[in-house]
Structure formats: structure tokens, C-alpha cells
Structure 1
């Protein structure tokens, strides 16, 4: 039931809730979210939906990753995500652990390291184009 409702609400060809509401609730576009789903599902079989009987499917990647983003976006507990997405607390916690582990394994070498000269040059160039020529020189630039 949770997967079907989630699909109809946000991921069907004609979802009940449009892109603006998706962006507000997920804090990103639907396309970016679906990229995360695909990348993480391909990396870790835990996120594959399995069949436990002829007509019964287990939890989907959409359910598991939706829970992860709700916990991260809103700072709620794993238990608080149960009502809509239909995942238990232990599954929500396991989904969070596996998602974070997957992200570190996929992106860690590139993004979770000290910046090199090429990274700094690229970021400074982007900053200049946006009018923030000394962006890396100021740690307190979040108030702009």
C-alpha cells in the first residue's frame, strides 16, 4: 500500500502532486531524487524490491530512500516516517545506514576528500561567474 500511494502521489506519469510540491517536500527536484534512487539501487541490492510471494512485493527503493530523505531533510526520527511511507523503525534505520554507506562508497573518493588545486580553481571560476570572486576566502558567506 505505501509504495503504491507514494508512486501515485509523486512518481506516476501524472502524479497527484506536481514538481513544486515535490521540491518542497524532498528539498530537490524529482529528477535528482530519481538519480539518487537509480545510483544507490544499482550499488546495493538492499534497495532492490523483492517478491516474497506470487503477488506480494516487499518494500521498494522509493519507499526506503524517501524515508532517508525525510529523516535528513526534516530531522525527524525513523519512527516518525512510518505512517505515510509504511516502513517500520528498524527498516528506516537500516535504510539510512545502507544509503549513507552507499553514498560514501560511490562518491567518497571524489567528494569526501581534501580539495586539490583543480577543485579550487574550478570553484573559484564558478564563484567569479556568480559575482563571488573570493568565495573560498570567506567561511562566513552563507548570509548572502
Structure 2
């Protein structure tokens, strides 16, 4: 469909309800006939991002974490101070990693979640599904985080 329904409504000369109904009906027919079915919307999957952030904080980044530092090394393939230096550098380089609110005013993923997904994918060579189970981040956000993380690290180093 080349023009939206709202755009077509503004283009018509008369204000009659019959004309508006005709345009609405035509627009629906065009949409259905263009792909053989009505427009599909994305399915929303509730991920408790805030709880996932709290979990990773209590597991690895609290004053007394659930897992000792040797487990941190095993999971992240680096020391805790090195991870924090990388996180600080990446956050200051790219505002994508700063936590903010989405369109519905919910808190988005934290920088800790985004950077952890990128590091785990690089360290283990795992898929997005594997990372999503623990960190509760969608596939597109994981891929975007990985791309931006690699670009940020390269920019900071070189």
C-alpha cells in the first residue's frame, strides 16, 4: 500500500462519511490483497528485564556476590576489574549502553545486561537464544548490542 489510510483521508475534498468509509474499505482490501492476509503484528513476550538485572547484580557484582571471583573469571573469561573498565569505556563511548525508558515508559535493558550478552557471545560463541535465557533480552537487542559493543571496543582501542 503506497499511502496510509490517514494520508488518503486528508487528500479527499469532501467531508462526507460515505467517502471516508469507502477509503477505509479500499485501504483494508489493498492491505489484505497485497500479501493475501491481514497485517501481522509482532508478538509481545514479557521479559522481566528489571529482575534479570537484579539477578546478575546479586550473582556477580554485589559486595558479597553469590558466585566468588573465580566463577566470574570462568563465566566472563576476564577479571572483575577488567570487565568494569570495559563497561565504563563502552558506556562513555556509546549512549546505546546507557539504560533508559522505552516507548511505554518501562525501563529498558541495563548496560550490564547488554555488555554481558556481547561478551558471552564473543567468549563462548553461543547463539542469541542461549544468552536470552539468563539475561532476558530479545534477539534483536542482543544482536544490536553485540554490533555496537564490537564497534565501541575497536573505537576505544584504536
User: What is the TM-score with the length of structure 1 in the denominator?
Assistant: 0.70
Residue 67 in 1 paired to residue 122 in 2? no
Greater RCO, CA 8 A, separation 6+: 2
Aligned to 2:153: 103
Aligned to 2:89: 39
Give the deviation of 1:56 after TM superposition.
4.0
RMSD value, Cα: 1.7
Residue 22 in 1 paired to residue 67 in 2? no
SS at match of 1:49: coil
Give the deviation of 1:77 after TM superposition.
0.9
Cα separation, 1, equivalents of 2:116 and 2:125? 13
Q: 2:135 aligns with which of 85, 93, 98?
A: 85
Give the deviation of 1:29 after TM superposition.
0.6
Aligned to 1:50: 100
Aligned to 1:4: 54
Cα separation, 2, equivalents of 1:17 and 1:45? 29
Please, which runs of 5 or more residues in structure 2 have no aligned partner? 1-50
Bigger radius of gyration, 1 or 2?
A: 2
Detail structure 1 runs of 4+ shifted over 6 Å in the superposition: none
Equivalenced residues, count:
108
SS at match of 1:90: helix
Aligned to 1:116: none
